[in-house]
A and B are shown apart, each in its own frame.
Chain A
Amino acid sequence: GDSVTQMEGPVTLSEEAFLTINCTYTATGYPSLFWYVQYPGEGLQLLLKATKADDKGSNKGFEATYRKETTSFHLEKGSVQVSDSAVYFCALSGTSGGYNKLIFGAGTRLAVHP
Chain B
Amino acid sequence: GAGVSQSPSNKVTEKGKDVELRCDPISGHTALYWYRQSLGQGLEFLIYFQGNSAPDKSGLPSDRFSAERTGGSVSTLTIQRTQQEDSAVYLCASSLQGASFGYTFGSGTRLTVV
Contacts and interface: CB of A to CB of B under 8 A. Distances in A.
Determine chain B's interface SS by DSSP, over half rule.
mixed
Interface string B87-112: 00001010000111111111110000
B40 to A, nearest CB: 9
A46 to B, nearest CB: 5
| Size bin of chain B's contact surface | 20 to 34
Contact of A46 (B41, B45, B102): B102
A98 B107 CA distance: 28
B101 A32 contact: yes
Given A42-B107, A106-B41, A107-B42, A100 B102 contact: no
A102 B103 contact: yes
Interface of A: 31-32, 34, 36, 42-46, 49, 51, 89, 93, 96-107
Interface of B: 4, 33, 35, 41-43, 45, 48, 55-56, 58-59, 91, 93, 98-108
